[in-house]
Amino acid sequence: MDALAGFGQGIWIALQPLNLAVMVVGVLVGVIAGALPGISFVNAMAIALPFTYFMSPLLAMLFLGGIYVGGVFGGSISSLLVNIPGDPDSLPSCWDGYPITQREGPERSLSIAITASAVGGLFSALLLSFASPPFAKFALSFDQPEFFAATFLGLVSVLAIAKGNLLMSLVSLFTGIVLGSIGTDPLYGVSRLTFGVPILDNGIDFVVVMIGIFAIGEVLDALAARQAAGFAPKHKARMRVLRPRELWALRGSVARGTGIGSVIGIIPGAGAAVGALVAYGIERQVNPRRREFGTGVADGLAAPEASKNATTGTALIPLLTLGIPGSAAAAIMLAALTLHGVQPGPLLYTKSPDMLYAIFASFTLANLFMIVISVLVARGFATLMRADPTIICAFILVFSLVGAFGVRNNIADVYICIAFGILGFYMKRFGFPTAPLVLGVILGPLAEGYFLTSMANYANDLTIFFTRPKSGVLMALAFGFILWALRPELGRLVQRLRR
């Protein structure tokens, strides 16, 4: 079937009343789940998976795909309104998005985020529809060295958010990497760094760390400073899509973020978090206003928003064309297809082209409906944020602890969450940046796993990361990124040596 004709047929199928209703409900569930601190869209997809047993394979994919598309943006709502990321991939949105909310109100920050996310998501959905086979071949050529190089590039992005405090940022990053390594060694299966404490045997989940650092830590800091009213936006929220003239002013950052996210999305295991981090780091290096990043620069919000949503469509390319899930969300979709006896792969193009193109088309439609639904949900959240500050703080604390428990249904995670909340409070008081610590916990174990498997598969040859073309390019970008970020310090060092 011709791609354009197949896409048109897919649009017609996706617009059938039942299919459309299921997709819209999925988007709504995803946006709300992503916006609630501690309730990620991946958890929502996992909870929804058993219900798809009573649906057809197409309805199951429309429902889960809607949750996926809506959830990736939903985390930005709490990031922008209360500086608490709903998901790890929404963390970069806090750095410039929340200052915009404080300075200009939620209308401006949410309008930028919604528009950039829609552009990135729509472009990614069109790539999924029309460029799946070549992208799938590109993704299939990636192996463990390439995965490590992509994760390493995400880790060095901490240099872009150091904000003139490089030493403390590096200390925070390496602390996060150490904390992420607590638990069971991925290669040898033995416990490490647990010091005989039983609750540490299962390791420390990055979601628990993020909830503690950002949610509980922010609440403690606000209460200690008697500034809990700072959670409430001072402006009435009237979110909308940016006008063409406003979007044109952000064209560079949105285009760069969309391109970065579209490429990173097809790399299995990278995901939206890496895409958002790399997009923010690169944007901070190339943007003319890079020295102002962190103070509320619109480009600093638009780039990661476009990037993380641009990963949604391309993350499904390896799944639908090769049967390889590229993210946790894609793995849940694979489970749904398998549950219905559908094996994703190249044969889908010949056996079930109507279903395949309906899935492609639904991602395009889901990104359009995401705009309307996100505006409505964001308005509701903004209204809630104008409630009494003590109620807001109590709501955040209760939801955070429930969310921490729900990550693994383990009461130990609640204790760990509280501990990291206290740690986040004191880190903020003593000037230690918290974002690098969270990045270390998230990306550190991934980088370690990819590094160890690379060493095991390639006879402990460290040069493999540089001799393979794709991993070599990524490593070169990472080291170039480091040199570019350290340029001011290196310049001062050279001047001292000349003296």
* Dist CA 98 CA 81 (whole Å): 7
Residue 256: its pLDDT value, please? 92
> Which residues contact residue 159 at a Cβ distance below 8 angstroms, ignoring those fewer than 6 apart?
166, 169, 281, 481, 482, 485, 486
Half-sphere exposure of 491 (CA within 13 A, CB side): 5
* Dist CA 455 CA 474 (whole Å): 18
Token pair of 265 as six digits: 């999305």
* Dist CA 156 CA 227 (whole Å): 34
Domain ranges of the chain: 3-498
Token pair of 151 as six digits: 């994760």
Q: Is the pLDDT of residue 43 over 90?
A: no
Average pLDDT over residues 467-484: 82
Residue 228: its pLDDT value, please? 47
Cα 193–chain centre separation? 28
Segment 144-164, tens digit of pLDDT: 888 788 778 777 766 655 555
Residue 269: its pLDDT value, please? 60
Q: At residue 351, what is the residue type?
A: K
Token pair of 221 as six digits: 């800091």
φ/ψ of residue 198, rounded to 5: -60, -35
Residue 403: its pLDDT value, please? 72
pLDDT over 70 for what percent of the chain? Answer: 83
pLDDT over 90 for what percent of the chain? Answer: 5
Token pair of 60 as six digits: 């199951």
Token pair of 435 as six digits: 């974002």
Max Cα-Cα span within the chain: 76
Residue found by looking up tokens 């006879």 in the block: 459
Q: Is the pLDDT of residue 227 over 60?
A: no
* Dist CA 15 CA 23 (whole Å): 10
Segment 439-453, tens digit of pLDDT: 788 778 878 888 888
pLDDT band at 325, cuts 50/70/90? Answer: low
CA–CA distances in Å: residue 161 to residues 196, 284, 300, 485: 35, 8, 11, 10
Of the candidates 206, 226, 168, 218, which has an alpha carbon nearest to the alpha carbon of residue 421? 218
Other beta carbons less than 10 A from residue 319's beta carbon:
23
* Dist CA 209 CA 195 (whole Å): 19
Residue 151: its pLDDT value, please? 79
Residue 154: its pLDDT value, please? 73
Residue 279: its pLDDT value, please? 87
Q: Is the pLDDT of residue 74 over 80?
A: yes
Residue 327: its pLDDT value, please? 67
Residue 229: its pLDDT value, please? 47
Cα 30–chain centre separation? 14
φ/ψ of residue 316, rounded to 5: -85, -10
Cα torsion angle, 390, 396, 402, 405, sign: negative
Q: Is the pLDDT of residue 347 over 50?
A: yes
Residue 21: its pLDDT value, please? 92
Of the candidates 142, 231, 171, which has an alpha carbon nearest to the alpha carbon of residue 450? 142
Residue 335: its pLDDT value, please? 76
Average pLDDT over residues 402-425: 82
CB 391 within 8 A of CB 153: no
Per-range mean pLDDT, top range of 138-142, 215-219, 310-314 = 310-314
Q: Is the pLDDT of residue 360 over 60?
A: yes
Q: Is the pLDDT of residue 14 over 50?
A: yes
Pairing relation of β-strands 191-192 and 183-184?
antiparallel
Residue 137: its pLDDT value, please? 64
Q: Is the pLDDT of residue 257 over 80?
A: yes
CA–CA distances in Å: residue 240 to residues 84, 97, 109, 296: 22, 16, 10, 19
pLDDT band at 94, cuts 50/70/90? Answer: confident
CB 180 within 8 A of CB 442: yes
> 417 — alpha (psi -120 to 50), left (phi > 0) or beta?
alpha
* Dist CA 488 CA 162 (whole Å): 13
Cα torsion angle, 224, 225, 229, 233, sign: negative
Q: Is 490 or 227 the better-scoring residue by pLDDT?
A: 490
Average pLDDT over residues 426-443: 78
Residue 22: its pLDDT value, please? 92
Cα torsion angle, 334, 413, 271, 446, sign: negative
Q: Is the pLDDT of residue 258 over 90?
A: yes
* Dist CA 440 CA 436 (whole Å): 6
pLDDT band at 326, cuts 50/70/90? Answer: low
Average pLDDT over residues 355-378: 86
Q: Is 433 or 93 the better-scoring residue by pLDDT?
A: 93
Residue 25: its pLDDT value, please? 92
Residue 306: its pLDDT value, please? 92
Q: Is the pLDDT of residue 212 over 90?
A: no
Token pair of 174 as six digits: 């390496």
Residue 345: its pLDDT value, please? 67
Number of residues in the chain: 499
User: Where in 174-270 does DSSP place strands (E)?
Assistant: 183-184, 191-192
Q: Is the pLDDT of residue 230 over 70?
A: no
Token pair of 58 as six digits: 């197409």
84: exposed, middle or buried (C-beta count within 10 Å: 0-12, 13-18, 19+)? buried
Q: Which pTM was predicted? A: 0.71
* Dist CA 404 CA 415 (whole Å): 9
Q: Is 387 or 48 the better-scoring residue by pLDDT?
A: 48
Segment 260-314, tens digit of pLDDT: 888 888 776 666 777 888 888 888 878 888 778 878 888 989 999 999 888 888 8
Is residue 48 classed as helix, strand or coil in its secondary structure? helix
Average pLDDT over residues 42-66: 83
* Dist CA 296 CA 89 (whole Å): 18
